[in-house]
Structure 1
Amino acid sequence: MDIKSTETEIQQQNNSNLEKIAILGCGYVGTAASSYWYKQGYSVTVTTTRQERVAELENIATKVVVMKGQDSQAVKSLLQDRDTVVLSIAPISNKQVDAEVYRETYIPTAKNLVAALQENKSVKQLIYLSSVSVYGNKNGEWVDEASPVDTESEYNQVLCEAEQLLLNSASEDVQVTILRLGGIYGAQRALIKRFGRLAGKNIDGSGETFTSWIHLDDVIAAMDYLSQRRLGGIYNLVNDFDMTIRELSDEICQLGNLEKIIWDDTKPSYRSLNARISNEKIKAAGYKLIHPQTIS
C-alpha cells in the first residue's frame, strides 16, 4: 500500500468534512468571523467591494472575491459548494446615508440570495445580521422577537423587508437565521473610546432612551453556535445591560475619569430606538453570553 497516497486520501476526506462558509460582506463583523472560522480550519470564502482589501483578507480567508451583492451571477457563484452563508452588509459611507441608499444596498442583495438558494443544493443555513433598531420607539417597554417592528422609519422598512425576503426562502433543506444585533463593541471599538469622543459635549435628547449592545466576541460565538446546530428563526442578540443611554454613558465616563455627556432635553433625541430588548430566546436555545455585563 502507498502510505503517502493513503495519508493524502485521509487528509482530503477530513477536509471535505469541514464546514464550508461564505461571508457576503467583510466589514467589522465579517472580518472577525472569517478570521475565527479560518483558524478553526474551515474553508471560508469572503467578499469585498474593494480591490485594495484583497491582500489583507487573504490572510484570514481561504478565498477572497471582489463583488457586489447586486451582481446576481456573482452571488450564485459564491454559494456553490458552501454549507453556510453569512450576510453581513451595510452601506459604504463615513456618514449617515439616506433610506434609498439603504434600499439599494440590502434589497437587491437579499433578492439575489433568495434566487440563488432556489438553484443551490449545498447551502444548509443562511445567517443574516440585522439590527434591534427594527423595533423602533417602544417607549422603553420590553420587546422580544414576536413584538411588532417599526413601520414608520424608512430605514427600518428596508431592514424588515430584507428580513422577510430571506425568511420566506427557508425550506426543509435550508434554515434561515435572523440575528438582530445591538450596537457592536469590542476590539477597536471599546465603549470607553466611543463614548469618550462625546465626553463633555452637548447631545440632543434627555438620554432617557434605553440602549442595547453586544460584544463582537458574542456575535461571532453566537453565529458559530447557531450554525453548528442549524437553528433557524429570529433571535435578538444583546447583552444583559438594562440601562438608558444616559446611565451607560455616565458609568463609562466615570470609569474613564471623563467629563459626563451633557444631555439637552429641550431637543428631540437623536436616537430612534427606545426599547428594552429581551435576549431570553437565544439563551433558551442554550447560548451563553461571553460578555453579559462587561463595559470596556
Structure 2
Amino acid sequence: MKIALTGASGFVGTSIQSHFKECIIIDRKDDTTTIIEKLKGVDVVINLAGAPIIKRWSDPYKKLLMESRIESTERLVLAVNQSNVTHFISTSAIGIYPDDKKCDEGCTEIADDFLGELAHKWEEEALLCKKPTTILRFGVILGKEGGALAQMLTPFKLGAGGIIGNGKMMTSWIHMSDLLGIYQYIIDNHLTGIFNATAPNPVTNYTFTKALGRVLKRPTILPIPEFVLGIMYGEAASVLTGSKEVYPRKILDAGYTFKFEHIQKALEEII
C-alpha cells in the first residue's frame, strides 16, 4: 500500500512515516498539478497540514491557522478527486465540540469559538472529496517525540508542575501508539466517516497532573492560575483551559481495541 502525506514534518507526521515506512511527501508549496503527479500509484492520502495551534493568536496568526488548513485541504482535495486514490483521511480536532459536555461522534453541536469554527470549516473542505473519506478528530496526543507532553516535562521535572485553575476541566487524550493503530485499523477495514481519536477514559486536569507527577516522582503542588495562561497565550489559552469530555464510540463499535485506555499506564510507557 502506498501512502501520501501532508504535514509530514510535524509530531504526528513523523510518527506516521515511521509506522508506514514508505510515504510520498506532499509539500505545502506544491500546486495541484504537482500533487496530482505525486499521487500516481498512491492508495491512501493522509492530510495533516496546518500551522501549530499553541501559539499566541494575533489576527494575522488566526488567518494563517485558517489558511494553512482550509486552503491546503482545498488544493489537496482537488488533486485527490482527479487521481486514482481510494481513501482520503483528513484531520480535525475535538475543539469542534463545546466545553463541559459529554460528546461522542453523535454530538452535532459546534463550539461557539474560534476553535469550533476552525475545525468545522476544515471538515467541510475535506468532505468535498469525492473519494471514500474519513475524518479523525484528534484529542491531546501523548508521545515520546513531541506534542503537549514534551512541553510539560521540563517544568514538571523541576517540581514546578501543577493543576490548571481548579483542575476540573476534562482532558481527552490519546497515546501515539493508539493513534497510529487507529490509522492502520481504518485503512485495513476501509472505514469512512467521522471518528474521535481519543482514549476511552478522559480525565480531569487534576487526575492528569497527579498521574504525571507520580510517574516523574515529582511534587505537583503549584497550581497555574488561568489568568497566567491568558497573559502568556491570549485567546489561545482556551486550548489549555477548555474542558473537552470526548469519547471514541465509533472506533470502539467498529472493533478497535485500545492499547492504552488509562492515563497512568500511558504516561508510564512514554516516560
3-state SS of 1:187 partner: coil
- Indicate yes or no: 2:259 matched with 1:290: yes
Q: Given the two structures, how large is their TM-score scaled by the length of structure 1?
A: 0.75
Amino acid at match of 1:253: G
Within 5 Å, which residues of 2 pair with 1:265-276?
267=227, 270=238, 271-276=240-245
How many angstroms apart in 1 are the aligned matches of 2:115 and 2:202? 25
Which one has a larger percent helix, Structure 1 or Structure 2? 2
Amino acid at match of 1:112: R
How many angstroms apart in 2 are the aligned matches of 1:71 and 1:190? 29
Within 5 Å, which residues of 2 pair with 1:121-160?
122-137=84-99, 139=100, 141-160=101-120
User: In the alignment, what sits opposite 2:153?
Assistant: 196
User: In the alignment, what sits opposite 2:7?
Assistant: 25
Which one has a larger percent strand, Structure 1 or Structure 2? 1
How many angstroms apart in 2 are the aligned matches of 1:202 and 1:283? 32
- Indicate yes or no: 2:71 matched with 1:108: yes
Amino acid at match of 2:16: A
With over 3 angstroms needed to count, the CA separation of the structure-2 counterparts of 1:285 and 1:78, relative to structure 1, is same
Check the 8 A contact 1:249/1:261 in 2, yes or no: no
How many angstroms apart in 2 are the aligned matches of 1:190 and 1:258? 21
How many angstroms apart in 2 are the aligned matches of 1:102 and 1:257? 37
1:164-205 alpha-carbon deviations (Å, 9 max, x no partner): 1212324xxx21101111111122249876543343257752
Q: Given the two structures, how large is their TM-score scaled by the length of structure 2?
A: 0.81
- Indicate yes or no: 2:139 matched with 1:179: no
Structure 1 residue 70 displacement after superposition: 6.5
The percent identity for this pair of structures is 22
Structure 1 residue 235 displacement after superposition: 0.4
User: In the alignment, what sits opposite 1:164?
Assistant: 124
How many angstroms apart in 2 are the aligned matches of 1:257 and 1:212? 23
How many angstroms apart in 2 are the aligned matches of 1:286 and 1:177? 16
With over 3 angstroms needed to count, the CA separation of the structure-2 counterparts of 1:164 and 1:230, relative to structure 1, is same
How many angstroms apart in 2 are the aligned matches of 1:21 and 1:290? 24
Structure 1 residue 136 displacement after superposition: 3.4
3-state SS of 2:214 partner: helix
Amino acid at match of 1:274: S
1:107-161 alpha-carbon deviations (Å, 9 max, x no partner): 11111122223322x1111111221121131x2x310112134342223312211
Larger relative contact order (CA 8 Å, sep ≥ 6): 2
**Which stretches in structure 1 are left out of the alignment for 5+ residues?**
1-18, 48-66
Q: Which range moved further: 235-244 or 219-228?
A: 235-244
How many angstroms apart in 2 are the aligned matches of 1:249 and 1:126? 36
Structure 1 residue 265 displacement after superposition: 5.7
3-state SS of 1:127 partner: strand
User: In the alignment, what sits opposite 2:233?
Assistant: none
Q: How many residues are matched?
A: 249
Check the 8 A contact 1:69/1:75 in 2, yes or no: no
How many angstroms apart in 1 are the aligned matches of 2:255 and 2:7? 27
Check the 8 A contact 1:143/1:276 in 2, yes or no: yes
Structure 1 residue 94 displacement after superposition: 7.8
User: In the alignment, what sits opposite 2:179?
Assistant: 219
**Which stretches in structure 2 are left out of the alignment for 5+ residues?**
231-236
Q: Which range moved further: 143-152 or 231-240?
A: 143-152
Alignment partner of 2:46 out of 86, 97, 101? 86
